[in-house]
Every structure is written in structure tokens, then in C-alpha cells.
Amino acid sequence: MAKGRLWAALGGLALAWWYLSAHPPKATAAAPGRPLVVLDPGHGGPDPGAVGVTGLLEKEVNLEIAQSAARTLMGRGVGVAMTRTQDSAVRPGPYLVVQDLRERAFLARRVGATILVSIHSNAEPTGTVAGPIVYYRADSPSSQQLAWALTGPLASTVGIYHPPRPAHHLVLMEARVPAVTVEVGFLTQRHDLARLTSSAWRQRLGTAVAQGILAYLGRR
Ligand SMILES: [Zn+2]
């Protein structure tokens, strides 16, 4: 019914206005002709993500790597928006994991992102697997291209190569732009854990992530 649709549209507009006024973007907005990269450090606040045997928290590793990548990208004239810039949940209020993930994808759509790159640290039960793995939005050739661009500098920095893998992660699927999850290493593997504990190593990984993004954007 037309009247129902009109009310639904008005409701949607009001909701969008409320949302934008309550949740301003955390960094630079899109400018004409300038790419805008959304960097998404996984977890945060009440959600630590994976935890190393030493007590190292994934959320801290992810954030420092994303911040390092952001600095390099902004230094090269690329716009960057972060889904979080501190140890906090992405959205205020009670923490619900699905809403938290949706919020990250929604931010990418709202700011008009060129691409979305989520940063995570991996875990698996055997403790034997090491090295970075880039997952890409399974239905998106551009996401696959972005994943390959990231895999090169990450593999050469770390010295371990895993080919990119397709995934149906909620954040990637709902972002509606080329989107990848970079798993920077395994908190369950002793050597990866030792390296990811080091701030200098996180800076290097952040640089590698930025190099891959710049290559994808044709700004090598
Ligand atoms: Zn994670």
C-alpha cells in the first residue's frame, strides 16, 4: 500500500538522520577523486578476540596494526576511516556480536568506502599453523584482487605464504564494497605469538598491509 510505503520511507529517513547524528565517522570523509579505505581492527572493548597463552589479546594486536597501516596510507594521500580508534566496542550500548559486526560493514557503506580491510589475528587448536592469511568476500572478484595484492607484501614480510581464501564473513558480505579480512598471524603458534607481541613487528605488518592496499589502488 502506497501510504504504508511512504511511512516506511519516512521512518527510514528519520532513522538514518538519527544514526548519522549519533555516530559521526571516526576519521576523514570521502573527498572527490580520493580513495577512502575503511580499516577495521577486529574486536575491542568487552570482546578481546583470541587470547594467546601469554595473555596477549587479539584486539590490541589488531588495533596497533590498523593504526600503523592508517598512518602510512594517510601519508600517501589516501583517505582512511577506522571503525574504532581505541579499545572499545564499535557501537555504544550493550555488546551484541552480530550488531557489532553489522556496524562495521554499515560504517563502510555510510562513509562511501572504496574498500574495507578488517584486521584480525588467527587461532587454531593444533598450535602448528603460522603466518598471514587473507580472506576475501567470496562473491567479489575485486575482493579477490585486493586479497592477492595484500598477500604479496605480507608473505614477503613474514616469510610464510598462504594463498588467499574465499569467505562469507558477515562484515565482508555486508560491506557491499571490495572487502577482505587480513589474519596477520596465529596467536596459537609460538613464533607468531612472540612476534605479534612486539610493537615494532606490528608496525611492520601495518606497513605491509598499507603496501598491499596501495598496490591495489594503483598507488604503488
Ligand atoms: Zn578476530
75-122 per-position pLDDT tens digit? 999 999 999 999 999 988 889 999 999 999 999 999 999 999 999 999
End-to-end, the C-alpha distance of the chain in Å comes to 53
Domain edges within the chain: 27-216
Cα 215 to averaged position of ligand 1 atoms, centre (Å): 25
d(CA 199, CA 42): 17
Strand arrangement, sheet containing 36-41: 79-82, 36-41, 115-122, 179-186, 133-137, 165-167
pLDDT, position 160:
98
- Residues within 5 Å of ion ligand 1, judged at the Cβ atom: 42, 49, 120
What class has domain 27-216? alpha beta
The pTM (predicted TM-score) of the whole model is 0.86
pLDDT, position 3:
46
Cα 8 to averaged position of ligand 1 atoms, centre (Å): 36
Q: Which amino acid is at 29?
A: A
